[in-house]
């Protein structure tokens, strides 16, 4: 049987990586993983707690290790954390081990989607979420684009429709 391919979803918080990733895995009969969930599973702590105890730096080390391990697998869809591409090691790893899809989403949509949950410590600050997300986008969007095999927008159709669009482009 031909080697099963991996699909790695990259993009900012609120792009819909986890929701779209689940649809994609379901439609392609692949295993779905989410790097944040894997960190939570391994540590037994939620993301906010890891940030509290170990700082962003400690979290990034865990994130890099988790992605290193998960990219050893074959036949998976992986939703990566929005900041994972800050690591060159991770960028190289994702490019080498699968098809990288950049989920592009306007800031307004990201703000709306991230308002509903409190799983994002970087947004729990005095600064308005929109400003934080704009600042992060400036640094990170070029990194998502650098490793992407292709890009899809996630604000114009349902998560399932985006997943179908990704499948068409594979």
Q: Which residues bind ligand S3P (CB under 6 A)?
A: 13, 17, 36, 47, 81-83, 120-122
115, 121, 126, 127 alpha-carbon torsion, rounded to 10°: -70
Closest to ligand S3P by CB, 4 or 104:
104
CB contact at 8 A, 147 and 95: yes
CB contact at 8 A, 98 and 5: yes
Question: In the numeric block, which tokens belong to residue 87?
Answer: 């690591």
Gap between the Cα atoms of 71 and 68, Å rounded:
6
HSE-up (13 A, CA, CB side) for residue 62: 23
Closest to ligand S3P by CB, 27 or 48:
48
Least distance (Å) between residue 3 CB and ligand S3P: 27
Least distance (Å) between residue 47 CB and ligand S3P: 5
Closest to ligand S3P by CB, 36 or 64:
36
Least distance (Å) between residue 36 CB and ligand S3P: 5
Closest to ligand S3P by CB, 28 or 39:
39
Least distance (Å) between residue 116 CB and ligand S3P: 12
Least distance (Å) between residue 80 CB and ligand S3P: 7
Gap between the Cα atoms of 73 and 5, Å rounded:
10
Gap between the Cα atoms of 129 and 160, Å rounded:
27
Question: In the numeric block, which tokens belong to residue 116?
Answer: 């509903």
CB contact at 8 A, 79 and 35: yes
Closest to ligand S3P by CB, 62 or 97:
62
């Amino acid at each position: 049987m031909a080697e099963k391919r991996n699909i790695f979803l990259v993009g900012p918080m609120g792009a819909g990586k986890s929701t779209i990733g689940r649809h994609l895995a379901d439609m392609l009969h692949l295993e779905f993983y989410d790097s944040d969930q894997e960190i939570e599973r391994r540590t037994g702590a939620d993301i906010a707690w890891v940030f509290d105890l170990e700082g962003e730096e400690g979290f990034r080390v865990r994130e890099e290790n988790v992605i290193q391990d998960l990219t050893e697998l074959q036949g998976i869809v992986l939703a990566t954390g929005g900041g994972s591409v800050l690591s060159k090691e991770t960028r190289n790893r994702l490019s080498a081990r699968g098809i990288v899809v950049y989920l592009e989403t306007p800031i307004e949509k990201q703000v709306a989607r991230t308002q509903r949950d409190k799983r994002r410590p970087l947004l729990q600050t005095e600064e308005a979420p929109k400003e934080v997300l704009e600042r992060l986008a400036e640094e990170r969007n070029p990194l998502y684009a650098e490793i992407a095999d292709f890009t899809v927008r996630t604000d114009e159709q349902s998560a399932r429709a985006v997943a179908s669009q990704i499948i068409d482009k594979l």
